[in-house]
Every structure is written in structure tokens, then in C-alpha cells.
Amino acid sequence: MPSPLERLQLKFNPFEPSGSGAPASEKEPWLPERWKQKLKKYFEQLGVGEGIRPLAVVGEYGSGKSYLLHWLDQHEFPRRRVQSYYFNDPGVQFYDLANQFLRRLGRKHFSKLVWELAQPHVMHRQLTLFTGTYEDFLGSFRQKDRPKLEQQIQAALIAAKVTTDEEIASRLAQIVMDTPNKPYFEYRDFVPGTARSVVAEHQGANYFGALLRTLRLAAGVEKVAFLIDEFEEISLHRNITAAASQDYRVTLKRLIDLTDAGELWLVLSLTHDGAEKTKQLDQALWSRMFEFTVDPLEDDEAYDLVKNRLADARPDELKPKHDLFPFDPGFMADLRPVTRSIPRSIVKVCSAAISQAASRNKKSISNVDVLAVEENLFPVSGGER
């Protein structure tokens, strides 16, 4: 006996009920042609020698910002040999972002990268402590050798062009040596001082730059990209205090400085409110970014969204009666324009309609049923989209 979804000629429900983020799929997800054209423009202007400007993805709730960031993270950046990291909710301070990044990277992994990067640059024969593999070192490290070893690693890092700054090289060396005793990593390990507030205003980004350079040089990665989703969370703090607004600008400025220095490729997503707020706070800073507006979908784009999702979920070889089966071929025209122009609303309606039809063992989904689902999710008097 066919399962309820099989009756609808689907292997699974291709629409996520919550209408958030990206669907789980190995395949490269579909992207509207207009979005691709805008991205093309952005990538082209990178070629004209002005360095990489941060990309600010601006759109309404549910318009597809996270979807686009995931697409860049999982498909476009790997194609461009860019090692990317996706962050959600990074916290207000640069410090929080740096901390999250380091934790994700892992202290042991990072120490190993530093070790391997430094090793070929040990120039003097007497630097005998600094030989063998990183694992040997972790097993045999003696505290009494520490000062000498630190010096060696420091010199090697400067030779490897990770940094020209002795203080930064010394911090990196200490991180390597502390790893056997302290397996996790905090950004405060990496900057002078202990309290958050002591993180030196300008130094923080320099350290972070050295850290990213280590990653690039040691892992053989051409570029490192940060994709920071929901960046508006930072700018739209309820009753934003003067201090929080200052932190926000400092964070943004440091990130942009790292971009300017060529250490980082930066992509931010913001709602329109968040972008407005940022412009108000610092128009000059905003003008350094490339703005990508995620507009509401045109009708043919909405159609393609549904068509492509359904195609992913059909059994191989199956030829559907039409592209939108098990829905009615004209069902999208009957949805309210406000529903069909927002990806989240489309996804939620389709998801609920398929679940309902499956639970009722239907073989197709009538227009009346879809419109009832739409009204149920988004009552005319105003439901949440």
C-alpha cells in the first residue's frame, strides 16, 4: 500500500513547516535569476581592484536572507575556494564573534596549524626543541623548556609572515604551549588584559587578523569568509544604550577593517529596520558596503520556487501530470499577493497543505484546501507571517 506521501507522488514533504533557514538537501538549491544577477554584479566589482567590500543582504522577515547566506556558505564560497563560517546571533561585541569563531575552530586544531606553519621556519640548528610532530610535542612538553620554546615559535611565526608584531607572535606561541593544559580557547587568551573591557580598542582586530592569516596560510585557504546572519539583532537592541550602539559600531568597523586589509570576506544579513538603524548610526560606514536587497518575489519566481521544491521530492523517473502536482496547476494565482511574494509564507502554506492532504489520504490537493490553509495560517485580520 502506498504511504500517504506516495499517494501525492512525493518522497517527503519538501517544505519546512516553520519556513526558516534552508532545507536539508545535498543538491544545490534553486536561486531566483534576479538574485544571481545581483550577486554576479557584486562578484564582478571585486575584480576591479578595490578589494572586497562587505556584502550587506537586506530584506524583510522571511524574504530569504538566511537561505541566501546558506547558499553562499555551502555552494558559492566553496566554488571560489573560500573557507566560510556561518554565524547566527553573534552578540554585540567583536569579542563575542571572535570567541565564537575560535571555539568553533577548536584550540587543538588551531595550535596544530600554528605549529605546522612555524616548523619549516626554524632556521637555527640549536632550536632542537621545536622538531617532530605536533602530537609528539603534546606528549613530551616540559614546563622547564617553555621560555626557550616560546621564543622559537615566536621567531618562526614572524619568519612565516603570520605577523610582524612580536607581541602577537608571542601570544600565538603561548596558545600553542598552553594547549596541553587548556583544551578550550577563549579570545581573552589572545589579547592583552583579562577583563573584556581591557581588550585594546585597536589591537583586538590586529590579533584577529593574525589569527585569520594563520588559518589561511596553514590550511592553504585563499580567503576566509564570515557570514553573519541576523546582524540587525545587534543594531536593533530594544532601547539601545549609547554604550551598546558604540559597541555595535566598533564591531562593524573592526570587521570592515579586516575586510579592507584583505583578511576577511564579510557577508551580513539585516532586516530593513536594521539597515536603517545602521545608516543612522554611521552613514560613512554603511557606504563602504555593497547593498544587496532581497526584494519580494515576482509571480514567476514564486512559481519556480514551488516547482523546484516539488521536483526535489518526487520519486526518480516519475513524470508528474504538471509541474505543481499534487497542487492544482493554477493554485498560486489564487493565493494572496502578499502570501506568494514572501518565501516564508509560500513555504508555510505549502508545507501545511501537504501535511493536511497526507493525513487525509488525499491523492491531490484542491485549491479550496490550500486557500483554507492560507486563511488558517494568515487570517485576513492579520496572522503572523
Ligand X SMILES: Nc1ncnc2c1ncn2[C@@H]1O[C@H](COP(=O)(O)OP(=O)(O)OP(=O)(O)O)[C@@H](O)[C@H]1O
Query: Contact positions toward ligand X, by CB under 6 A?
Result: 16, 19-23, 30-32, 59, 61-67, 230, 271, 305, 343-344, 347
Residue 64 binds which entry of Mg ion, ligand X, none, with Cβ cut-offs from 5 to 8 Å by kind? Answer: ligand X
Residue 326 interface partner, choices ligand X, Mg ion, none, CB cut-off 5-8 Å depending on type: none
The answer to whether 66 contacts Mg ion (rule: CB under 5 A) is: yes
List helix spans (H) across 17-165. 33-46, 65-71, 77-79, 94-105, 107-118, 134-140, 146-159
In terms of residues, how long is the chain?
A: 385
Which residue's CB is nearer to ligand X, number 38 or number 121? 38
Task: Output the smallest distance, CB 32 to ligand X, in A.
Answer: 6
Count of other CB atoms within 10 angstroms of residue 364: 14
Peptide bond into 326 cis (omega under 30): yes
Grid coordinates representing 74 are 555551502
Distance CA 276, CA 11 (A): 43
Of 273 and 282, nearer to Mg ion (C-beta) is 273
Cβ neighbours of residue 333 under 8 Å, at least 6 residues apart? 299
CB of 229 to Mg ion, least distance (A): 6
Q: 57 near 196, Cβ under 8 Å?
A: no
Q: How far is the CB of 170 from ligand X (least distance, A)?
A: 42
The strand ranges marked E within the chain are: 55-59, 82-88, 223-229, 265-270, 290-294
| Beta carbon of residue 331, minimum distance to ligand X (angstroms, whole number) | 17
- By beta-carbon proximity to ligand X, the closer residue of 221 and 236 is 236
Question: Exposed e or buried b for every residue in 148-164, given b needs 16+ CB within 10 A?
Answer: ebbbbbbbbbbebebbe
**Partner that binds at residue 32, options ligand X, Mg ion, none, CB closer than 5 to 8 Å by kind:** ligand X
Residue 305 binds which entry of ligand X, Mg ion, none, CB below 5-8 Å type-dependent? ligand X
In angstroms, what CA-CA distances link 382 with 104, 110, 177, 376, 385? Answer: 41, 50, 59, 10, 9
* Nearest residue to Mg ion, scored by beta-carbon proximity: 66
CA–CA separation, 370 and 66 (whole Å): 26
Complex with Mg ion: residue 9 or 66, whichever CB lies closer: 66
User: Which is closer to ligand X, CB of 218 or CB of 353?
Assistant: 353
Toward ligand X, which CB reaches closer, 65 or 121? 65
Instruction: Please report how close the Cβ of residue 264 comes to Mg ion at its closest, in angstroms.
Output: 21
Of 54 and 62, nearer to ligand X (C-beta) is 62
Q: How far is the CB of 179 from Mg ion (least distance, A)?
A: 35
Residue 284 Cβ, how far from ligand X at the closest point, in Å? 26
Q: Which residue in the shown chain puts its C-beta closest to ligand X?
A: 64
In the complex, least distance from residue 205 CB atom to ligand X, rounded to whole angstroms: 27
Q: Which is nearer to ligand X, 112 or 309 (CB)?
A: 309
| Contact between residue 278 and residue 236 where contact means Cβ atoms under 8 Å apart | no
Out of ligand X, Mg ion, none, what residue 67 binds, judged by CB under 5 to 8 A for its kind, is ligand X
Q: How many residues bind Mg ion (CB under 5 A)?
A: 1
Q: Is residue 63 at the binding interface for Mg ion, with CB under 5 A as the rule?
A: no
Whether residue 312 contacts residue 25, with contact meaning beta carbons closer than 8 Å, is answered with yes
Residues that bind Mg ion (CB under 5 A): 66
